[in-house]
Structure 1
């Protein structure tokens, strides 16, 4: 499928994967609405080459307003890319209802609601791409909250495929660790980054290629794809989990020292 003149909305467009993918989509000739909270960052990156919409996707009022604006300015939506995500690393910590709610609203509820809104009464084709993460397929210590949201989203996609109408195509994306500020936002500058690691440009290329070819799912790492197949039979994640458990303990020690003022 050619992307030229396709009306595309992408969330999380101000940085990381979303920024790299937005640039590729604009270059392909698509009509793109870039969505994120940081409007100034998007204006600096895209200028008048894209529709810029400031929106906190965890807020249903802002999300509804974003859809109305995007649909009016683009004349409709052919492809929606739910890419924005709430970064979190560390132990689950003290009881914090608002934090727990925020991560699930951003990572799970918002993409599902967006799909519901776009598909309600729809007769024309829609491609709905959603960035899930490799952590929707495996568990690592330090990511309990983040893991749980991604497993929920992966479960939704797998089940929705058995219920969806024929005019809706859903494409989940499973990137591994990307070289961005994501992990710094998740747990600070000392946050351990799991392996393997990839550039945002490569992940964006994989996602763009997935849209063009109409694949069922996008795995950005062949190694991770093989792991997903083998892990159904053998417990190959035990080494990685043990390694990350050690890194989590070291990270917690550093955080304790910071809290004590050392």
Structure 2
């Protein structure tokens, strides 16, 4: 009788984290971003309606003004109902943590980026020691893909990916991936808003401004954090930190 094939390593899904799973996680995060934006829009709608209703009392003797204000209130309430329906379709993103080697996932993301953009340089780092973390591997891959796809927009021609373990006492225990590019960098004003939903410096039609926001939500769902720095001399470095210890599954909340 033929022997059963060996089981995959329990702490590594790198080869088995399917494209469909990664895409599903990405779409769920996009829905969450939309829900958060919808929540903010409804706050604005409420203020518009409140101000319009107050103004109605002040112009009660002017039928034309009252009609225009009532139309404004009706249209705004309709917009609020649409946003509420969209919010209802977007649930929270719950992470499914497990232990895996962050260095292996970072290398897989680097190789995929190199395949997508052969015109750019993605030098392979020397093999890193295993960097064990406990997180949702598919969400981490979503975050890394988003950061790597964002890097060339600042004129980068060389994008480096490195990984290191963080010992206890230095923010750790955990591990971090650093994506560093040689582009023009970001101004302090742009850097301050880099993770905002739908913030972009691209011309209309060339981007929605959700790449780094997607990375932020994915990392937050894994109980990690993401930071960006862009020194005056140029270049940008994005750091993704993930914990080594398992905790309660996290949610990106509105």
TM-score normalised by L of structure 2: 0.24
Higher relative contact order (CA 8 A, sep 6+): 2
Considering only CA atoms, is the larger Rg found in Structure 1 or Structure 2? Answer: 2
TM-score normalised by L of structure 1: 0.24
